[in-house]
C-alpha cells in the first residue's frame, strides 16, 4: 500500500466522518430545542377546541394508485370522520390501472347512497404522478382546507376536530400530525422502520418546529390551507418528494407550519424489504432533488435567521448522510490496514474518534425518542440498546441502495414515481405472503450488497487478527447490515 493511497484513503474517510459529525451536532441541537419546547408547553392547554358553528369547508383528498389490498379499508375509515356533513367533501384521486378502479367505484356508490359527499376522480394519464393527481383534484375541491391521506393511513374519527382549530391563525398554512404504526411489531424490519420514523417525528419535526425552522409536510396525515398551496405555486411533479418541495416553497413565502406530536395517525409499514427499498429510494432521491431545487433560495432569502438557514440546508441534505455513511464504510477496511501497516500516519487516527462521538450523540437522541414513545426506565433502556445497534447496522446495509438514489437526485437524473406496495397485514402469521404489486426481479444493487457482505466479513476477520476491537465492532455491524439486507432481498424475491 503506497503512502499516496494511504493519504487518499484516510482523507476521504475523514471527510465522510466529519460530515456525519456535523449532522449529528445538528440532531443534538434539535433534541435540545425539542426538550426545551416540551418543558415550556408542559402546563399549557392544547389548542384543540372545535366549534361546529364556524367549521370551515374541508376537502379530504385520497391519492390512489393500484391499492387493491387496502383501498376499501381506507374508504370505510375516512367515511367515519366526525365533521359536519355539509362541510366535508371527499375526493378519491384514482390513477389506478387495475381492478382497484372497480372496487373504488362500487364503494364510492355505497357511500354516496349513505349521504356522504364523495367523488371518484379517475385519471388515465399519470402525468405528474401523485403531485399531478393532487393538483387536478385541487382544481375542483370545494374545501378551504385540504386534508391528505395515503392509502395505508387510518386517521381517528376526531382527526379533523383535533387539527382544524389550528387554522384560526390565518398565517398557518399546514398542520402535520405524527405517524403511528399499525404493524410495528410485525418483524425486525418493521421495528427498525418505526424506530427511525419515531425519531424523525419527535426530534426532527418537533425540534425544528419548536424554534420556527422549516419542517416538511410528510405527504400524508396532514392538512393544508388551500390558499397556501396556490400561493406557493401549487403541486409540482418535478421531484419524487412533492411534499418536501411544496413545503419549502410555502415556508419561503412566510406561511407557518404547525406540527402536532400529540395527534397520532396510524399507518402500515412495509413488511417486505423490496417494498421498503422502493420507499427508501423515492424518499432519498427526492430529498437530493429538492436540495438541487431549493437550497439556493434558502440561502438567498432575506429575513431568515442563520440557524434556520443552516437547519434548512442540513434538512435538505438529510438523505446525503447515507452517501457519507457508505463512503466511510467502504474506506474503513483500507483505513484499518493503514492504521496497522503505515505507523507513520498514526496521528490521523485521533480524528477517527469523531465517529464514536457521532454515534454517542445519535444514541442519546434516539434514546429520548424511544423513552417518550415506547418504554423508559431500566427495562426500556435494556430493550433500546440492541434495537439501536440493529437499526444502525441495517441502516448501513441500506446505504449502497440509498447512495445510488442520492447520486441520481443530485445529478438530476429523472425516474418514475414507484409506489410502495401495501399488504393490509398487521401480524406475522407464518403464511407465505403474496402481493401482485411486488417486484420479483433481483436488482443489481442486491448483487453488489452480497459482494459487500463478503468484503466486510473479510474486514471482520482481519480486524480480529489485528486485535483492532474498534474496527472489529464496526466491521461486524457492516457485515450484519449488508448481510441482512441482501439475504432478505434474495429470499423475498424467491
Which DSSP category does 203 fall into? I
Q: Is 243 labeled as catalytic in the residue annotation?
A: yes
3 state DSSP class of 236: coil
Q: Which of 392, 357, 402 is nearest to 478 (CA)?
A: 392
Q: Annotated catalytic residue: which of 150, 152, 243, 245?
A: 243
d(CA 23, CA 321): 8
375: exposed, middle or buried (C-beta count within 10 Å: 0-12, 13-18, 19+)?
A: middle
Q: Which three cell numbers stand for residue 309?
A: 438557514
d(CA 436, CA 415): 22
Q: Is 150 labeled as catalytic in the residue annotation?
A: no
Q: Annotated catalytic residue: which of 95, 150, 245, 468?
A: 95
Q: Which of 441, 460, 464 is nearest to 452 (CA)?
A: 460
Cell numbers 435494556 correspond to what residue? Answer: 382
The answer to whether the CB of 240 falls within 8 A of the CB of 234 is no
Distances (CA, A) of 319 to 410, 479, 488, 494: 11, 22, 23, 30
Give bridge partners of residue 315 from the DSSP assignment: none
Q: Which three cell numbers stand for residue 98?
A: 387495475
Residue 138 host element (H or E):
helix 129-138
Which DSSP category does 67 fall into? -
Q: Which residues of 35-133 form beta strands (DSSP E)?
A: 58-64, 88-94, 118-122
d(CA 379, CA 385): 10
Q: Which three cell numbers stand for residue 144?
A: 378551504
Point out the residues that are catalytic: 95, 243
Amino acid at each position: 500500500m503506497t503512502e499516496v493511497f494511504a493519504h487518499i484513503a484516510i482523507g476521504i474517510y475523514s471527510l465522510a466522518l466529519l460530515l456525519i459529525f456535523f449532522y449529528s451536532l445538528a440532531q443534538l441541537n434539535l433534541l435540545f430545542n425539542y426538550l426545551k419546547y416540551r418543558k415550556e408547553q408542559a402546563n399549557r392547554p392544547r389548542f384543540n377546541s372545535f366549534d361546529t358553528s364556524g367549521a370551515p369547508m374541508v376537502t379530504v383528498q385520497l391519492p390512489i394508485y393500484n391499492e387493491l389490498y387496502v383501498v376499501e379499508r381506507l374508504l370505510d375509515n375516512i367515511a367515519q370522520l366526525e365533521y359536519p356533513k355539509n362541510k366535508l367533501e371527499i375526493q378519491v384521486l384514482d390513477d389506478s390501472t387495475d381492478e382497484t378502479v372497480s372496487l373504488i367505484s362500487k364503494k364510492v356508490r355505497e357511500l354516496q347512497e349513505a349521504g356522504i359527499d364523495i367523488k371518484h376522480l379517475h385519471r388515465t394519464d399519470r402525468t405528474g404522478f401523485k403531485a399531478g393527481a393532487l393538483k387536478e383534484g385541487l382544481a375542483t375541491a370545494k374545501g378551504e382546507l385540504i386534508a391528505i391521506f395515503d392509502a395505508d393511513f387510518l386517521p381517528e374519527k376526531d382527526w379533523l376536530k383535533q387539527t382544524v382549530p389550528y387554522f384560526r391563525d390565518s398565517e398557518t398554512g399546514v398542520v402535520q400530525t405524527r405517524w403511528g404504526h399499525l404493524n410495528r411489531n410485525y418483524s425486525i424490519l418493521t421495528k427498525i422502520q418505526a424506530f427511525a420514523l419515531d425519531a424523525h417525528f419527535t426530534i426532527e419535526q418537533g425540534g425544528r418546529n419548536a424554534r420556527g425552522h422549516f419542517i416538511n409536510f410528510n405527504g400524508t396525515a396532514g392538512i393544508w390551507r388551500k390558499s397556501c398551496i396556490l400561493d406557493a405555486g401549487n403541486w409540482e411533479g418535478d421531484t419524487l418528494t412533492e411534499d418536501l418541495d411544496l413545503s419549502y416553497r410555502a415556508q419561503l413565502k412566510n406561511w407557518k407550519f404547525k406540527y402536532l406530536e400529540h395527534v397520532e395517525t396510524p399507518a402500515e409499514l412495509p413488511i417486505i424489504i423490496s417494498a421498503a427499498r422502493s420507499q427508501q429510494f423515492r424518499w432519498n432521491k427526492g430529498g437530493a432533488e429538492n436540495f438541487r431545487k431549493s437550497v439556493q433560495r434558502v440561502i438567498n432569502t432575506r429575513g431568515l435567521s442563520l440557524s434556520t438557514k443552516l437547519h434548512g440546508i442540513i434538512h435538505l441534505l438529510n438523505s446525503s448522510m447515507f452517501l457519507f455513511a457508505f463512503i466511510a464504510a467502504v474506506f474503513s477496511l483500507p483505513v484499518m490496514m493503514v492504521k496497522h501497516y503505515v505507523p507513520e500516519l498514526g496521528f490521523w487516527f485521533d480524528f477517527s474518534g469523531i465517529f464514536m462521538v457521532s454515534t454517542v450523540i445519535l444514541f442519546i437522541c434516539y434514546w429520548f425518542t424511544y423513552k417518550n414513545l415506547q418504554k423508559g426506565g431500566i427495562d426500556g433502556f435494556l430493550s433500546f440498546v440492541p434495537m439501536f445497534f440493529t437499526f444502525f447496522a441495517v441502516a448501513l446495509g441500506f446505504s449502497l441502495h440509498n447512495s445510488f438514489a442520492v447520486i441520481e437526485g443530485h445529478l438530476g437524473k429523472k425516474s418514475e414515481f414507484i409506489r410502495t406496495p401495501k399488504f393490509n397485514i398487521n401480524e406475522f402469521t407464518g403464511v407465505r405472503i403474496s402481493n401482485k404489486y411486488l417486484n420479483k426481479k433481483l436488482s443489481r444493487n442486491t448483487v453488489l450488497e452480497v459482494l459487500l457482505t463478503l468484503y466486510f466479513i473479510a474486514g471482520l476477520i482481519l480486524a480480529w487478527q489485528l486485535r483492532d476491537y474498534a474496527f472489529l465492532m464496526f466491521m461486524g455491524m457492516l457485515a450484519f447490515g449488508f448481510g441482512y439486507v441482501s439475504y432478505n432481498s434474495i429470499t423475498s424475491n424467491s
